[in-house]
Structure 1
Amino acid sequence: MRIKNASLTLGAWLAGMVFFLPVAWMVLTSFHSESDAASNPPAFTAPLTLDGYREFFGTGGGPDPWPPLINSLTASLASTVLVLLLALPAAYALTIRPVRAWRDVLFFFLSTKMLPVIAGLLPVYLFAREIGFLDNIWLLVILYTSMNLPIAVWMLQSFLAEVPVSVIEAAQLDGARLPVVLGRVVAPVVLPGIVATALICFIFSWNELLFARVLTGVTAETAPVFLTRFITSQGLFLAQLSAASIAISLPVLAAGFAAQDKLVQGLSLGAVK
């Protein structure tokens, strides 16, 4: 048994290192000069520098990263809030007060995620062009909301299934209407699940590239699109790209770290009775 536990522990550590080493290498590369970052074999003992970060933040004469970062933050936060406002009542209707054929409704939501994103890109582009909505951050908010809504409904439905119906019925007997029930009774009970859902929707919106790359230009450019500027016909700027990747990943990492207890609790909700 001890040998088995030690083997499992060693395997877990090895698996963790496999996933961690690329991130560690990217962090190290971000502190190298371009010549050292592009050397083959890699220069592990090369001198460290902040030139990549200076270039990313515009102090080295590069483009200003703050507008794309603000656009990504606006699109991600706004779409996440809209998703929660729409998904919580929908999940309530499918769980606490089930509609007819509610399982078919859930599988219909899931089927919308099976369509390849590229298949809907051209119709969305043509529609946005006709209504004059290209290069508009609110177009991305609408798209991200529609893209994340099905998975949010699925997640919240599983969390709401754990809410005792007696608690809701007691609130309704006291005269509480649906908005009060959702805001003051249901939401506090499933708060870990709401946080987990919000964090996942935020990450999906923050990392989305295809629609942002095609539907935006200068005004609504997002952070992932800004990253593609470091891959040019002049070459691949590894140090700058690594520094930009680390800087753009920090908001998501900070959000995950701040909500890690709620995230773990939410994702494991209902797993153990």
Structure 2
Amino acid sequence: MSSTLTAAPTARPGRTEYPRTARRGRRRSTALGVVAWIVGIAFCAPALWMLLTSFHSEADAATNPPSLGAPLTLDGYRVFFGAGGGASPWPPLINSVTASVFSTLFVLVLALPAAYALSIKRVEKWTDVMFFFLSTKMLPVVAGLLPVYLFAKNTGMLDNIWFLVILYTSMNLPIAVWMMQSFLADVPVSIIEAAQVDGARLPTVLTRVVAPVAAPGIAATSLICFIFSWNELLFARVLTGVTAQTAPVFLTSLVTSQGLFLAQLCAASVVVSLPVLAAGFAAQDKLVQGLSLGAVK
């Protein structure tokens, strides 16, 4: 009499663990997504509230608690653009565009060769040079206000927009060199050597070889310099009067002894913020690529 023994099927270890692990991973990613949305909304809430308030009347904007369902109006924007008899915002806006654009261009023209010398054709003791550039940003801005004011007064450069251009260029140049040095360090040396073998000189190498390869980094640097120049208030408030008044200084003039006109101030803040937002959206793809250069080796 023979008996047939059949082995009991053995479960594969870890077979039921994969769906459970996948579910935990999905729950974790969902939780992180919810947290990211909450943080994003928290950061955007003040800007959205400012935008909504700019479309309210002064009476509705001053209510406490604020009224979300108040009727919308463009009175704040009409008053800001001079329809209400106030000062025209166009000269300050043009001054801000002039100071920001020209200072950014000058920074790029000066920072690209300097970053090239510190990253690709490295000079002696280049680390000391980089530390010197960074150390210039350690001085509080207000500490240099009096010497700069006396220099502008003695040279007749007070209330001159081109003095602000020179000042913003010198203020943004160290951070631009520091940023572009890290971007240019990722440029392959082989393509530069190939261009030099073909007879390309340094200006050609910088404009036709290095600049196209490092375009994302250059875009990120230029955008940051533009934002710093556009938002600068302290020097513009002290060194300018009427002729060279910039947009941030014009915003401070809306806070008068007669009171705070909240709707008009929010409308002005929205208009002044639009150039920076437009520049950020225009260079969004280059900005993301530039800020991620060197992150993964």
Q: Please, which runs of 5 or more residues in structure 2 have no aligned partner?
A: 1-24
Give matches, 1:1-273, under 5 Å: 1-273=25-297
Name the CA distance, whole Å, in 2 between partners of 1:57 and 1:103.
Answer: 50
CA RMSD of aligned residues (A): 0.7
Aligned residue type for 2:229: S
Q: Percent identity?
A: 77
Aligned residue type for 2:147: P
Following TM superposition, by how much is the alpha carbon of 1:59 offset from its aligned partner in structure 2, in angstroms? Answer: 1.4
Tell me, what secondary structure is at the counterpart of 1:219? coil
Q: Please, which runs of 5 or more residues in structure 1 have no aligned partner?
A: none
Following TM superposition, by how much is the alpha carbon of 1:209 offset from its aligned partner in structure 2, in angstroms? Answer: 0.3
Compute the TM-score of the two structures, normalised by the length of structure 2. Answer: 0.91
Aligned residue type for 1:169: E
Name the CA distance, whole Å, in 2 between partners of 1:114 and 1:18.
Answer: 31
Name the CA distance, whole Å, in 2 between partners of 1:89 and 1:146.
Answer: 16
Structure whose CA Rg is larger: 2
Tell me, what secondary structure is at the counterpart of 1:113? coil
Structure with greater proportional helix content:
1
Tell me, what secondary structure is at the counterpart of 2:36? helix
Name the CA distance, whole Å, in 1 between partners of 2:26 and 2:105.
Answer: 48
Q: Residue in 1 aligned with 2:5?
A: none
Name the CA distance, whole Å, in 2 between partners of 1:232 and 1:99.
Answer: 54
Name the CA distance, whole Å, in 2 between partners of 1:183 and 1:175.
Answer: 14
Tell me, what secondary structure is at the counterpart of 2:136? helix
Name the CA distance, whole Å, in 1 between partners of 2:134 and 2:217.
Answer: 19
Aligned residue type for 2:257: S
Name the CA distance, whole Å, in 2 between partners of 1:199 and 1:21.
Answer: 24
Name the CA distance, whole Å, in 1 between partners of 2:284 and 2:40.
Answer: 18
Aligned residue type for 1:251: P
Following TM superposition, by how much is the alpha carbon of 1:68 offset from its aligned partner in structure 2, in angstroms? Answer: 0.3
Name the CA distance, whole Å, in 1 between partners of 2:27 and 2:219.
Answer: 39
- Equivalenced residues, count: 273
Name the CA distance, whole Å, in 1 between partners of 2:53 and 2:190.
Answer: 57
Name the CA distance, whole Å, in 2 between partners of 1:136 and 1:20.
Answer: 36
